Amino acid sequence: MTEIFDNADTTDTTVGTTNATDVAGVGSVVARTRAHLRAACAGLGDGDIGVVMTMGALHEGHATLIRQARARARHVIVTIFLNPLQFGPREDLARYPRTNEADLEICRREGVDVVFMPTPSVVYPDGDPGVRVSAGPLGNVLEGQARPGHFDGVLTVVGKMLHLTGADQAYFGQKDAQQLLLIRRMARDLDFPVEVVSVATVREADGLALSSRNMYLAESDRETALCLSRALRAGADAAVEGPSAVRRAARAVLVREPLALIDYLVLVDPSTLEDVPEWYRGEALLAVAGRVGTTRLIDNVPVNVGPGGGALEVFSEDAGHGHDLTSPAS
């Protein structure tokens, strides 16, 4: 893996020097400043660019995103940046796992062209940015209610990374469904020239959704955490009977696991995050969040509610649009 680097790692005035070391003969480039990223992107040549944005601690879920990008885009950029803006004062920024060497090995294995690994002083050269992207009302519910300001931090860094990489497509996992919705809204509302691509949630063999935070779980906690995915499966299996049946089936699983402290279990419209009424038929988001031991976990499944209903891998492009949740006649 070829690395373009600057000894100070904070300046952005020169392309810097090039380390000729090339791990396993793969010509991936690690860029650490804006100028180095520009130089690396300029060297890619023609063709569209797909970007996968991460905070590091890469796992098979991230690898799946990279493979999806690799299958569609001519060039693939992975960003590895632990964004301080999306962590609250009582959250786990300091203990968030940092596995840079393993992350780079995954990028090399998956054929990533450029890895952008900046420090906070590169992304935010003037410190905390005075101007940020606001997530608006959709950022204040569900995860936003539990983590005030979180989605403003997410959208701000995603917007910056889209500008810096010049990506044509950006790949995000369905597991972070509210984040995915907000990024799509930002791209549409602010005219970002990028296609936001949703990729189905990747799970362990036992059903637990892959997450960097899973490594915090003790063995006993992990068994408890499985109630989240089991609840979602039960709810999806009841989707043919309507919204009340979905909520009832999922809740029945959760109440049998007292060691999981549930923040919310909702069945909502995937474009507005409003609770769907009993008459609703169509695609909906069944989402759950809770704390297991000291670790907060989220999970969700897209479902089709009504006749022939059940679990979906990802939402359709027009999921939820056009529904008036106040009127069964709409």
The catalytic residues are 62
The Cα–Cα gap between 59 and 203 comes to: 11
Q: How far apart are CA 325 and CA 267, in angstroms?
A: 13
User: For the purposes of burial, counting CB atoms within 10 Å of the CB of 200, is it exposed (0-12), middle (13-18) or buried (19 or more)?
Assistant: middle
> Which of 95, 92, 212, 84 has its CA nearest to residue 149?
84
| Largest separation between any pair of C-alpha atoms in the chain | 66
Q: Comparing C-alpha atoms, which of 237, 219, 232, 227 is closest to residue 174?
A: 232
- The closest alpha carbon to 216, from 91, 66, 86, belongs to 91
Return the closest-CA partner of residue 142 out of 253, 263, 292: 263
Only one residue has tokens 């997530």, namely 135
Q: How far apart are CA 209 and CA 131, in angstroms?
A: 34
Q: How many residues does the chain have?
A: 330
d(CA 114, CA 77): 5
| CA 220 to chain CA mean position, Å | 26
